[in-house]
Amino acid sequence: MLDLAPTLRRWAAEGRAFAVATVVSVTGSAPRAPGAALAVDAAGEAVGSVSGGCVEGA
């Protein structure tokens, strides 16, 4: 999550609307551990990953 902070700070300063999803728990095998985060702005620009990077682009 901290790796997204500079981008989120910039988006907030620009007045962009955005949402952040954070992995809070996993069971069994998972591509990312708790704490992994993905942010998407209203235009669809995304930073971060909650799936190891293979799903977000789709």
Whole-angstrom Cα distance, residue 51 to residue 14?
A: 27
Q: What angle do CA 56, 49, 46 make, to 5 degrees?
A: 60
Residue range 9-23, pLDDT digits in tens: 999 999 999 999 998
Give the model's pLDDT for residue 10: 96
Give the model's pLDDT for residue 28: 81
Residues 6+ apart with CB under 8 A from 42: 16, 17, 18
Residue length of the chain: 58
For residue 17, the Cα-to-chain-centroid distance in whole angstroms is 14
